[in-house]
Chain A
Amino acid sequence: MEYVIEMLNITKEFPGIIANDDITLQVRKGEIHALLGENGAGKSTLMSVLFGLYISEKGKIKVRGNEVKIHNPNDANDLGIGMVHQHFKLVHNFTVLENIVLGVETVRGGFLIMDDARAKIVNLSKQYNLRIEPDAIIEDISVGMQQRVEILKMLYRENDILIFDEPTAVLTPQEIDELMKIMKRLVEEGKSIIFITHKLNEIKAVADRVSVLRKGKYIGTVDVANTSKEEMSEMMVGRKVIFEIAKGEANIGDNVLTVRNLSINSKVHGKSAVHNVSFDLRKGEILCVAGIEGNGQSELIYALTGLLPVDGGEIYYKGEDITHKPIRYRNSHGISHIPEDRHKHGLVLDYTLSENLVLQTYFLNEFQNKGFINFKSRLTNAKKMIEQYDIRSGEGPITLVRSMSGGNQQKAIVAREVEKDPDVIIAVQPTRGLDVGAIEYIHNQLIKQRDMGRAVLLISLELSEVLGVSDRILVMYEGEIVGEVDPKEVTQQELGLYMSGSKRGAGYERKETSE
């Protein structure tokens, strides 16, 4: 069997950690080879070694059977290796065309010649069915199209080994389907693809073989067709993972949070970021607000938690109008908030774990006496929460939060917010960037809170999470709620239509802008 890429016995160490420990990856010509592993398993390091961003201490790389040394991305490019990074590397105020030729421009007599490039790009986009608008500015086009520009960049450079680093993280379901088609088409044309992901459905959908890494070690390579999702996830996590989120029927109680005609003016554009939003949140349910990023979910949450002033409408909490109440009033009266950006809002990274665990309660009599900090009760509190919520860190309560892993930082926030004994828990993308184990933990916590009779408002971009965890789904599009659906009845595809604004639910029809 002919291998287009062979990475043999690669070892890469960083101070204090072995990121890649004797890893072997063999990619056949013309296959889609998935690279599966949790966060921190060493996928990115391995690809960085292949792409010349890191040099490995041990092991060798063979490309098309010849041993090579790759010192920098230019070497990789010369060998025909291209990469679509998770965060696109595009110049935002350049056109699509300019971005594609950037670095390999055709120049004649000191002048930039775009005509040849344009012709070649138009041909490529037809050949691979990659729809683009050559003269559009990057910041005006959709994320999906930006990704196609990245793919065209590789094709324009005549790369035939393509690395996709978690390409679906930023896409809607429809865009994901399209990407899968594009990937298959690329392979038909003789390209080879390395597909980095931790989503098993996508591997099942497109990949031929999958190599699994766990904690820097190589676990094995298997054929996708003969391997179940459960087997793959067991290889990835090292234990059995339950996919179906186990949850009983919701036991729904009274209204706790009532939002009426809430509107917030946008800071960026003239329209409103949140427009006339109304809903009720009841005890014992998980209500999910789904939507593509940037459709007003963040502003809605900021308004509910008091971080952003409201321009119209009311918010009632247990019957009391809290529309203009300060943040501390809300977070000390039973509204907990697991924020979207844990580094910006959730934690003071240069404070210790014990300090962060009392970030909203340090002023209570339990933790202070006439303004002097009660260090003893702070420590007891931290030890209790660390134990109860299994927060792992280097030095326990005195660990600087900055040095903790993302999953444990999130556990610390969850612990702090849940321990306040709230009536409402607002969780915004609580599993973003976490690995399977931590995601499972957070989901179980949310359901546990629901079963204890608390109301959970979940904001999520992850459809499997939206469908798996919630009891009721509201979809937000351009600042408005465009539909309410039952997670038991709706499909991912249908939800995608709501999210992209192509469909509206009964009772949520677009109102004529007569006002």
Chain B
Amino acid sequence: MNVKKLLSNRSFKSASASVFAILFGLLIGYIILLISNPAQATRGFIIILNGGFNGGLRGVGNMLHNAMPIILTGLSVGFAFKTGLFNIGASGQFILGAFTAIYIGVKWTFLPSGTLWIVAIIGAMIAGALWGGIAGVLKAFRNVNEVITSIMLNYIGMYLVNFLVVSTVFDLTRNQSISPRAAYLPTGGMNILFPLSSANIGIIIAIVVAIIMYIVLEKTTFGFELKAVGYNREASRYAGINEKKSIILSMMIAGALAGLGGGLLYLSNTGKHIEVVDILASEGFNGIPVALLGLSNPIGIIFSGLFVGHMNMGGFYMQRLRFVPEVIDIMIAIIIYFSALSLAFKSFIENLSRKLGGRTK
């Protein structure tokens, strides 16, 4: 009876689809390991499964730090998804947020050191929001597909930031941005929990923000409006919702989330700088699989972000066995393919629960 009840629960059905996808992805990843180096495959696979735990508490802390930016870009993509938009521009919003945080951290040292980092990440959110908002305005008023505009804005953002870094906060000798020492994030007690790791207050902020996003989407009339517009723009207009405003706000919030991710990552005291190279920030794109795996649910995204962070750490430690860490990227890609098939999994589970239901009758 209990199994039947569990199987017919909507959110359980959705989550179990992701779990199935992960299991299949891991299985195929194992097969790839077997093909590339049969002797070490099992050991390598165990290292992947252990992920951050390979490095003890320090490894776990690093895993959390690794998960922090992708949880936020995942939230960015997931929030947009929930409101009917595909924000592929998290990368551009992320890097603009990063630059703004560094700029404030380097230039606004007149602010007291305890508040500087806070101002810097607020700046990062505003920059991301404005960048996302451009795609939102074009979608709302001219019906330009946000996928196209946000892809373009990724490149525009990247070159703009390269230009701005060189002209404002440039460390000529290293061809990168200056370290924003005065605005480094506090550790938030993470240094005590996970000694010697990179973890700081960023992961706590990311999780709190995810919970806030969950509340906004599920518990407020504002979220009700945004989702209604996402599901059916015409019906929302009919109901008197200002659908243009909703679309713009959705994209701005999505942008702010990605910008926050950029700000937090580049204000961490881990030697991360904006390098003046023509490469899009990968954290933006990694947000897409995180959102998909978390089924766009903010709480789900916390877990899927942690999972991907865990896998990445596994890939890092697996290099001991001379495996290339790219195996992890392949595995994550496979998992995403399977989660794209999550509808098929869902109906499989529904059939299962129907059969069980039929038997008990």
Option from B220, B234, B235 in Cβ contact (under 8 Å) with A359: B235
Asked if B228 is at the interface of the complex by the 8 Å CB criterion, the answer is yes
Beta-carbon nearest neighbor of A16 in chain B:
B354
A327:B240 contact, CB within 8 angstroms? yes
**Most chain B Cβ neighbours within 10 Å, of A346, A348, A351:** A348
A371:B240 contact, CB within 8 angstroms? no
Give A326 to B220 CA distance when docked, in angstroms. 23
CB distance from B133 to the nearest CB of A (A): 21
> Digit string of A362-388 for contact with B (CB within 8 Å is 1, else 0)?
110001100111000000000000000
Contacts beyond the supplied A329-B240, A368-B221: 20 A-B pairs with Cβ under 8 Å:
A307-B237, A307-B238, A327-B239, A327-B240, A328-B240, A328-B241, A337-B238, A339-B238, A344-B234, A345-B234, A348-B232, A348-B236, A350-B232, A359-B239, A360-B239, A362-B224, A362-B225, A371-B220, A372-B221, A373-B220
Contact count band on B? 10 to 19
A373-B235 contact, Cβ under 8 Å, with A326-B240, A327-B240: no
Option from A305, A307, A360, A362 in Cβ contact (under 8 Å) with B221: A362
**Most chain B Cβ neighbours within 10 Å, of A344, A346, A349, A359:** A359
CB distance from B85 to the nearest CB of A (A): 15
B235:A344 contact, CB within 8 angstroms? yes
Asked if A347 is at the interface of the complex by the 8 Å CB criterion, the answer is yes
A346:B235 contact, CB within 8 angstroms? yes
Asked if A331 is at the interface of the complex by the 8 Å CB criterion, the answer is yes
Query: Which 9 pairs, one residue from A and one from B, show the smallest C-beta to C-beta distance?
Result: A328-B240, A345-B238, A359-B239, A327-B240, A350-B231, A348-B232, A360-B239, A348-B231, A368-B221
Asked if A355 is at the interface of the complex by the 8 Å CB criterion, the answer is yes
A371-B222 contact, Cβ under 8 Å, with A348-B228, A351-B231, A359-B228: yes
Give me 13 A-to-B residue pairs in the complex whose CB atoms sit less than 8 angstroms apart, sorted by A's number.
Answer: A307-B237, A327-B237, A327-B239, A329-B240, A345-B234, A346-B235, A350-B231, A362-B221, A367-B221, A371-B221, A371-B222, A372-B221, A373-B219
Give A319 to B143 CA distance when docked, in angstroms. 36
Chain A residues near B225 (CB-CB < 8 A): 362
B240:A351 contact, CB within 8 angstroms? no
Chain A residues near B224 (CB-CB < 8 A): 355, 362, 373
Taking beta carbons and an 8 Å cutoff, which residues of A are in contact with B? 305, 307, 326-329, 331-332, 337, 339, 344-351, 355, 359-360, 362-363, 367-368, 371-373
CB distance from A12 to the nearest CB of B (A): 20
Give A372 to B240 CA distance when docked, in angstroms. 19
**Most chain A Cβ neighbours within 10 Å, of B225, B232, B239:** B239
Give A421 to B93 CA distance when docked, in angstroms. 47
Chain B residues near A327 (CB-CB < 8 A): 237-240
Chain B residues near A360 (CB-CB < 8 A): 239-240
A349-B231 contact, Cβ under 8 Å, with A307-B237, A331-B240: yes
Chain B residues near A307 (CB-CB < 8 A): 237-238
> Digit string of B201-230 for contact with A (CB within 8 Å is 1, else 0)?
000000000000000000111101101100
CB distance from A102 to the nearest CB of B (A): 35
Chain A residues near B238 (CB-CB < 8 A): 305, 307, 327, 337, 339, 345-346
Give A332 to B239 CA distance when docked, in angstroms. 10
Give A328 to B239 CA distance when docked, in angstroms. 7
CB distance from B229 to the nearest CB of A (A): 9
Beta-carbon nearest neighbor of B221 in chain A:
A368
CB distance from B143 to the nearest CB of A (A): 14
Chain B residues near A305 (CB-CB < 8 A): 238
Chain B residues near A355 (CB-CB < 8 A): 224
Chain A residues near B237 (CB-CB < 8 A): 307, 327
CB distance from A398 to the nearest CB of B (A): 9
> Digit string of B57-81 for contact with A (CB within 8 Å is 1, else 0)?
0000000000000000000000000
CB distance from B185 to the nearest CB of A (A): 30
Chain A residues near B228 (CB-CB < 8 A): 348, 351, 359
A348:B235 contact, CB within 8 angstroms? yes
Give A38 to B221 CA distance when docked, in angstroms. 40
Give A360 to B232 CA distance when docked, in angstroms. 14
A372:B231 contact, CB within 8 angstroms? no
Beta-carbon nearest neighbor of A360 in chain B:
B239
Option from A326, A339, A349, A372 in Cβ contact (under 8 Å) with B219: A372
Give A367 to B227 CA distance when docked, in angstroms. 17
Chain A residues near B241 (CB-CB < 8 A): 328
Give A351 to B239 CA distance when docked, in angstroms. 14
Give A307 to B241 CA distance when docked, in angstroms. 12
Beta-carbon nearest neighbor of A398 in chain B:
B10
Chain A residues near B227 (CB-CB < 8 A): 351
Give A360 to B225 CA distance when docked, in angstroms. 10
CB distance from A344 to the nearest CB of B (A): 5
A331:B220 contact, CB within 8 angstroms? no
Chain B residues near A337 (CB-CB < 8 A): 238
Option from B219, B221, B235 in Cβ contact (under 8 Å) with A363: B221
A332:B240 contact, CB within 8 angstroms? yes
Option from B232, B236, B239 in Cβ contact (under 8 Å) with A349: B232
CB distance from B126 to the nearest CB of A (A): 22
A331-B219 contact, Cβ under 8 Å, with A345-B234, A348-B228: no
A347-B240 contact, Cβ under 8 Å, with A355-B224, A363-B221: no
Q: Give chain B interface residues in 232-279, CB to chain A under 8 Å.
A: 232, 234-241
**Most chain A Cβ neighbours within 10 Å, of B232, B234, B238, B241:** B238
Beta-carbon nearest neighbor of A350 in chain B:
B231
Beta-carbon nearest neighbor of B238 in chain A:
A345
Option from A331, A344, A350, A371 in Cβ contact (under 8 Å) with B239: A331
CB distance from A340 to the nearest CB of B (A): 11
Beta-carbon nearest neighbor of B229 in chain A:
A348
Q: Give chain B interface residues in 29-88, CB to chain A under 8 Å.
A: none
Give A362 to B221 CA distance when docked, in angstroms. 7
Give A385 to B244 CA distance when docked, in angstroms. 31
Beta-carbon nearest neighbor of A331 in chain B:
B240
Chain B residues near A344 (CB-CB < 8 A): 232, 234-235
Chain B residues near A348 (CB-CB < 8 A): 228, 231-232, 235-236
Chain B residues near A367 (CB-CB < 8 A): 221
Give A346 to B240 CA distance when docked, in angstroms. 12
Chain A residues near B232 (CB-CB < 8 A): 344, 347-350
Option from A331, A347, A362, A368 in Cβ contact (under 8 Å) with B235: A347
